[in-house]
């Protein structure tokens, strides 16, 4: 990552609701020949359009870009997450197992510093890891609260993660920046349903 890219990304992280830093970054990416600049432009444009004809054309172009480049843009987390949604040019939603989150939180937050929705999947084969693990007062911080500033889990935290709905919502982050979370069970494959 170049110094200029880091500077542009920092401006976006400091003002995540403001589209201007995103547009500046998109223009810079386009100048570098990076198709992600076009994705940012398309997603911002689609967000401003009414449902219908033109928005559908913009979404089709967006989907074509995502089909071609999603794995590259997700980088090291492409094989770790079950689902990732790009919004306004950046990964904003991730679905993954709780165990994968524990192991890869740093990588996820490095690729997706603007994540605002994390869906953790709890299920059989997770070695007893369930939503209650996020409520334990002695849970490692890596489990409950990776730092958005450094993506470096350190120490221990007596608090549950703001992303996991294991109890009342965290009041530490303003509602507009508090990630939404869902608890789900992994979908079973048709073959595993037949053998059960």
Q: CA separation (Å) from 68 to 34, 72, 87, 170, 187?
A: 13, 9, 17, 37, 26
Mean pLDDT confidence for 148-157: 34
Residues 75 and 1 sit within 8 Å (Cβ to Cβ): no
Residues 159 and 138 sit within 8 Å (Cβ to Cβ): no
pLDDT of 156 above 70: no
Q: Where are the domains of the chain?
A: 1-74, 79-187
Copy the structure tokens of residue 135: 């409520």
Mean pLDDT confidence for 29-47: 96
pLDDT band at 116 (very low <50, low <70, confident <90, very high): confident
The CB density around residue 190, as the number of other CB atoms within 10 Å, is 7
What angle is formed at CA 73 by the lines to CA 81 and CA 111, rounded to 5 degrees? 60
pLDDT band at 131 (very low <50, low <70, confident <90, very high): low
At 134, is the secondary structure helix, strand, or coil?
Answer: helix
């Amino acid at each position: 990552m170049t110094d200029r890219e880091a500077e542009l990304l920092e401006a976006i992280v400091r003002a995540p609701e403001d589209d201007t830093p995103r547009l500046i970054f998109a223009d810079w990416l386009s100048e570098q020949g990076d198709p992600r600049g076009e994705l940012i432009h398309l997603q911002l444009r689609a967000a401003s359009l009414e449902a219908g004809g033109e928005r559908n054309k913009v979404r089709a172009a967006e989907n074509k870009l995502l089909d071609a480049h999603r794995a590259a843009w997700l980088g090291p987390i492409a094989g770790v997450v079950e689902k990732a949604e790009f919004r306004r040019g950046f990964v904003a939603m991730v679905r993954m197992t709780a165990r994968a989150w524990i192991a890869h939180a740093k990588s996820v937050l490095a690729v997706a510093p603007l994540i605002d929705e994390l869906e953790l999947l709890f299920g059989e084969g997770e070695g007893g890891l369930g939503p209650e693990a996020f409520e334990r007062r002695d849970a490692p911080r890596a489990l409950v609260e990776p730092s958005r500033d450094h993506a470096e889990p350190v120490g221990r935290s007596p608090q549950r993660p703001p992303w996991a709905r294991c109890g009342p919502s965290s009041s530490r982050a303003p509602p507009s920046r508090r990630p939404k979370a869902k608890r789900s069970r992994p979908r079973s494959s048709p073959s595993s349903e037949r053998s059960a």
